[in-house]
Amino acid sequence: MLILGLFAINVRIIFVNVLDRQLKDRLKTLAQAAALDLELDGGEIEVDKEPLVSPNQAIQWFDTQGNLIDQQGEYVVNLPFNPKHEIQTQLTPYPARSLTSPVVEYDKKIFIGYTRVSESTVELNNTLQSLDMRLGVGVVVALALSAVGGIWLTRQAMKPIEQSFQRLQRFTSDASHELRSPLMAIKTNAAVALKYPDGIRDLDAEKFLAIKSASTQLTALTENLLMLARSDRGLLPQPEVIDLSTLLEELVRLYQPRFEEKEIDFKAQLQEELLIFGDQIQLTRLFTNLIDNALRYTLTGGTVEVRNESKGDRLSASVQDTGMGIAPEHIEHIFDRFWQVDRGRSYQLGGFGLGLALAQGIAQNHGGEITVTSELGRGSCFIVSLPAYQS
């Protein structure tokens, strides 16, 4: 827009300058011819008119005091006579430009009067108007064409990126899927070996325990990656009408023993019958991840509360804890993949930094979102907002 605008303005300026110069040249030529018509005849000034060549021009002759002696042509200007202004512009009753110049008698070299020649600028204005029109239309058309071209080019450029992103997603989901069976085999074999500890040495038993724990972690990671790849593709494998309250009640019941074990007060305040349309497994995973975080990042003696409510055409469910909280500068990152506030610590706690990324992906697939409020050292509250089911 800027380049086209500058181009159009420049073209107009150059055009106006050229037209202006041509007009001045024509007026000067006319003034020279008009000066020859003014004669000094025995002390009296006389005008010896000759026919005008151009119908849109006019001539006025003045004496040395500036009194009008004679005039010729249709387009004379009505402006007051002013010898100090060589060029004058008239707007009404018709647009015209005039040139005033003194006349000196050729032989005796005496000053005998003035001529004021003028030309109507109607035609010039029309030319400028049509130039403006053409430039305007040209700029608009060029802009429209470059916008269309820009969109087309961007789409072309995005194609390979989209393709490689899809390939990456497929790779992640295929790889995690393929990793599940061998991992399961390792885990089961380690478990079986540990079941009969008599036959193995104490040191070996420890190694088997380590294998079992590592394979459990890896299984969780591959499950997470698989789910993440699926949620990236926006898949809801089995959408159905789900009661959010029942789903949360079930989870609270399931997690109660683990909270008791850590001596955290785990409460639920659930309303009946809050229906949503979605995938049971994904939604369960979403809230499991939030509750799991609350359990993991809250110290003994704390409180965790799960709540849900209906707000018009949306439902919200929240998990609030009195845990360690998240610093303001970290909040914008917690939904990133593999991001953890304290990598070492979280890893010891068995995390990979995928839980919230997955939860956010699932919420978005269901037309919802997760928001968080948190204060360092005081606790956090994760609120999931989802569209309510409308029959």
Ligand X SMILES: Nc1ncnc2c1ncn2[C@@H]1O[C@H](COP(=O)(O)OP(=O)(O)OP(=O)(O)O)[C@@H](O)[C@H]1O
- Choose the contact partner of 183 out of Mg ion, ligand X, none; CB within 5 to 8 A by kind: none
Would you count residue 346 as binding ligand X (CB under 6 A)?
Answer: yes
What letter does residue 80 receive in the DSSP assignment? P
Would you count residue 353 as binding Mg ion (CB under 5 A)?
Answer: no
Q: For residues 186-221, b (16+ Cβ closer than 10 Å) or e, as one string?
A: bbeebeebeeeeeeeeeeeeeebeebbeebbebbbb
The structure tokens listed for 257 are 């023993």
**Between 183 and 359, CB nearer to Mg ion:** 359
**Between 120 and 293, CB nearer to Mg ion:** 293
Handedness of CA 195, 199, 203, 207 (dihedral sign): negative
Would you count residue 302 as binding ligand X (CB under 6 A)?
Answer: no
Please identify, among the stretches 124-132, 208-216, 307-315, 349-357, the one whose residues bind Mg ion according to the rule CB under 5 A.
Answer: 349-357
Single out the residue of 99, 326, 362, 363 in contact with ligand X (rule: CB under 6 A).
326
Alpha helices in the chain (DSSP H): 2-37, 122-195, 202-232, 244-261, 280-296, 328-331, 343-348, 355-365
- Choose the contact partner of 352 out of ligand X, Mg ion, none; CB within 5 to 8 A by kind: ligand X
Please identify, among the stretches 178-186, 238-246, 306-314, 337-345, the one whose residues bind ligand X according to the rule CB under 6 A.
Answer: 337-345
Closest approach, Cβ 251 to Mg ion, in A, equals 14
Would you count residue 255 as binding ligand X (CB under 6 A)?
Answer: no
Would you count residue 380 as binding ligand X (CB under 6 A)?
Answer: yes
Instruction: List CB contacts of 248: < 8 A, sequence separation 6 or more.
Output: 268, 270, 287, 306, 308, 317
Closest approach, Cβ 159 to ligand X, in A, equals 32
Would you count residue 278 as binding ligand X (CB under 6 A)?
Answer: no
The structure tokens listed for 220 are 């969780």
Would you count residue 302 as binding Mg ion (CB under 5 A)?
Answer: no
The structure tokens listed for 314 are 């949306």
- Choose the contact partner of 294 out of ligand X, Mg ion, none; CB within 5 to 8 A by kind: ligand X
User: Beta partners for 278?
Assistant: 240
- Choose the contact partner of 346 out of ligand X, Mg ion, none; CB within 5 to 8 A by kind: ligand X
Cα(368)–Cα(30) distance, integer angstroms: 81
Would you count residue 355 as binding Mg ion (CB under 5 A)?
Answer: yes
Instruction: List CB contacts of 82: < 8 A, sequence separation 6 or more.
Output: 88, 100
Positions 269 through 298 that interact with Mg ion (CB under 5 A): 293
Please identify, among the stretches 171-179, 208-216, 260-268, 291-299, the one whose residues bind ligand X according to the rule CB under 6 A.
Answer: 291-299
Put residue 281 in one of left, alpha, beta given phi > 0 → left and psi -120 to 50 → alpha. alpha
Cα(65)–Cα(191) distance, integer angstroms: 123
Closest approach, Cβ 339 to Mg ion, in A, equals 11
Please identify, among the stretches 68-76, 77-85, 109-117, 321-329, the one whose residues bind ligand X according to the rule CB under 6 A.
Answer: 321-329
Residues that bind ligand X (CB under 6 A): 289, 293-294, 297, 321, 323-326, 334, 339-341, 346, 351-357, 380
